[in-house]
């Protein structure tokens, strides 16, 4: 029986040398590699500033704080995401207002966002301060629409592009599509720093605040015991940054490898009728693949298929479970089944299959074969 993990970082000798190189210097934190990494990401994303931090979650948190979104404020966002994209709003005692997703792209539905905003008035409307739009699984959202809506309602535009490093919307890179974006570098991402994240923006004031808040609220002089504001220790260390720099040097190769794996899956899954492969909208000029999430036809017991795949040595996950149905969201906001029907329908049918740079054709064949078997056993 084959054993195939869900994801696997692609670490080469050069990456290891880069990290070991840092260990031979005095600078394990607050040194030149973080700056170098920031410069690489900033120029790649096409933004003026990049501020590296210790996770994507920290990046989002600093954005919420930096934009002054706090108690009483409301942020419109998606219930179909990794939970951090919504938790960052709660950290600052603001309220996430969920709107359902598009059935095909799995991204926030711009029509429904407009409808929601159109239904609000007075204080309810003035409380809405921002749109936090996620590029789900690396697929950019329809940003022209969200920019339009943002302008009309005077909202901040936050792009959670944690999963979308290298993706493009109409020729423009993810991360630069809103007022501020983030990338995340956990080992299942396109590139990794171990743990890590980064904020990318053209907003100078936001960049300045984020830089200070990641570093205990220190001022620009960096004086160790001068603290201008409430801050955190959200710094990325030099080891992670060195790994990130080394990985960024072959970002093209990495993205191409991932595209090849996605294409192989698509080709082989074409014969499995009950499976819908990821949809790519025409406005996506480049798709950077984060995970490979398929959808099963209604009437197949998805959880049993996952169980069967796992018993066959294939690691897979039901990406995602809706945020609004997580126990503490239900408790805090009274959300219940049926609130966001598209999200709920999709999340009952999705499976993230093993996906990483060096996934081999024979492994894909094994996954597809077992998937077919699992479906046959579990169709109603």
Asked whether position 108 contacts ligand PLP by CB under 6 A, the answer is: no
- The H helix count followed by the E strand count for the chain is 14, 13
Instruction: Please choose, out of 30-38, 53-61, 68-76, 248-256, the segment that lies near ligand PLP by the rule CB under 6 A.
Output: 53-61
Tell me if 275 sits within 8 A of 294, measured CB to CB: yes
Asked whether position 247 contacts ligand PLP by CB under 6 A, the answer is: no
Helix axes 56-66, 84-91, angle to 10 degrees: 40
CA distance from start to end of the chain = 27
Q: Closer CB to ligand PLP, residue 55 or residue 212?
A: 55
Instruction: Please choose, out of 51-59, 243-251, 277-285, 351-359, the segment that lies near ligand PLP by the rule CB under 6 A.
Output: 51-59
- Residue from 160, 168, 274, 344 binding ligand PLP (CB under 6 A): 160
- Residue from 18, 84, 157, 177 binding ligand PLP (CB under 6 A): 84
Tell me if 315 sits within 8 A of 6, measured CB to CB: yes
Asked whether position 163 contacts ligand PLP by CB under 6 A, the answer is: yes
Instruction: Please choose, out of 76-84, 221-229, 300-308, 310-318, the segment that lies near ligand PLP by the rule CB under 6 A.
Output: 76-84
Asked whether position 241 contacts ligand PLP by CB under 6 A, the answer is: no
CA distances from 40 to 18, 173, 186, 295, 307 (A): 15, 14, 18, 35, 41
- Residue from 77, 81, 167, 246 binding ligand PLP (CB under 6 A): 81
Measured CA to CA, the distance from residue 345 to residue 274 in angstroms comes to 16
Helices (H), ranges, the chain: 13-23, 32-45, 56-66, 84-91, 110-119, 122-126, 143-153, 204-213, 238-248, 251-269, 302-311, 327-333, 341-347, 361-377
Q: Closer CB to ligand PLP, residue 137 or residue 153?
A: 137
Asked whether position 175 contacts ligand PLP by CB under 6 A, the answer is: no
Q: Which tokens sit at 83?
A: 């939970």
Measured CA to CA, the distance from residue 368 to residue 374 in angstroms comes to 10
Asked whether position 77 contacts ligand PLP by CB under 6 A, the answer is: no
Instruction: Please choose, out of 34-42, 160-168, 255-263, 291-299, the segment that lies near ligand PLP by the rule CB under 6 A.
Output: 160-168
Asked whether position 169 contacts ligand PLP by CB under 6 A, the answer is: no
Q: How far is the CB of 133 from ligand PLP (least distance, A)?
A: 10
Q: How far is the CB of 202 from ligand PLP (least distance, A)?
A: 21
Reduce the DSSP state of residue 153 to 3 states and report it: helix
Q: How far is the CB of 373 from ligand PLP (least distance, A)?
A: 30
Q: How far is the CB of 58 from ligand PLP (least distance, A)?
A: 7
Backbone dihedral angles phi then psi of residue 192, each to the nearest 5 degrees: -130, 155
Measured CA to CA, the distance from residue 226 to residue 240 in angstroms comes to 26
Looking at residue 218, the DSSP 8-state letter turns out to be: B
- Residue from 44, 49, 80, 82 binding ligand PLP (CB under 6 A): 82
Tell me if 184 sits within 8 A of 196, measured CB to CB: yes
In this structure, the chain runs to a length of 380
Q: Closer CB to ligand PLP, residue 308 or residue 320?
A: 320
Backbone dihedral angles phi then psi of residue 198, each to the nearest 5 degrees: -155, 150
Q: Closer CB to ligand PLP, residue 56 or residue 240?
A: 56
Q: Closer CB to ligand PLP, residue 284 or residue 305?
A: 284
Contacting ligand PLP within 122-141 (CB under 6 A) = 134
Q: How far is the CB of 55 from ligand PLP (least distance, A)?
A: 3
Binding residues vs ligand PLP (CB under 6 A): 55-57, 81-82, 84-85, 134, 160, 162-163, 184, 186, 197
């Amino acid at each position: 029986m084959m054993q195939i993990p869900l994801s696997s970082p692609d670490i080469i000798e050069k990456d290891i040398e880069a990290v070991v190189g840092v260990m031979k210097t005095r600078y394990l934190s607050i040194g030149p590699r973080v700056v170098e990494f920031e410069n690489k990401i900033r120029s790649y994303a096409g933004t003026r500033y990049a501020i590296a931090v210790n996770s994507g979650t920290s990046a989002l948190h600093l954005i919420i704080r930096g934009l002054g979104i706090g108690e009483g404020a409301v942020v419109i966002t998606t219930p179909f995401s990794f939970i951090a994209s919504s938790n960052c709003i709660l950290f600052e005692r603001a309220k996430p207002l969920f709107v359902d997703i598009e059935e095909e792209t799995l991204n926030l539905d711009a029509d429904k966002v407009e409808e929601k905003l159109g239904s609000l008035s007075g204080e309810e409307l003035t409380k809405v301060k921002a749109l936090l739009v996620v590029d789900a699984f690396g697929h950019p959202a329809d940003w022209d629409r969200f920019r339009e809506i943002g302008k009309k309602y005077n909202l901040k535009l936050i792009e959670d592009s944690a999963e979308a490093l290298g993706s493009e919307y109409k020729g423009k890179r993810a991360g630069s599509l809103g007022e501020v974006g983030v990338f995340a570098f956990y080992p299942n991402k396109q590139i990794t720093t171990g743990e890590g994240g980064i904020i990318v923006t053209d907003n100078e004031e936001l960049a300045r605040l984020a830089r200070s808040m990641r570093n205990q609220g220190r001022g620009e002089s960096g004086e160790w015991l001068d603290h201008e504001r409430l801050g955190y220790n959200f710094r990325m260390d030099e080891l992670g940054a060195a790994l990130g720099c080394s990985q960024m040097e072959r970002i093209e190769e990495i993205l191409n490898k991932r595209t090849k794996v996605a294409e192989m899956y698509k080709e082989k899954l074409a014969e499995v009728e009950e499976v819908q492969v990821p949809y790519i909208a025409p406005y996506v000029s480049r798709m950077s693949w984060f995970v490979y999430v398929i959808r099963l036809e209604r009437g197949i017991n998805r959880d049993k298929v996952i169980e069967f795949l796992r018993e066959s040595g294939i690691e897979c996950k039901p990406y995602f479970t809706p945020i609004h149905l997580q126990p503490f969201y239900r408790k805090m906001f009274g959300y219940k089944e049926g609130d966001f029907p598209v999200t709920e329908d999709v999340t009952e049918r999705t499976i993230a299959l093993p996906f990483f740079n060096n996934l081999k054709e024979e492994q894909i064949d094994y996954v597809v074969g077992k998937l077919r078997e699992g479906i046959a056993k579990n169709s109603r």
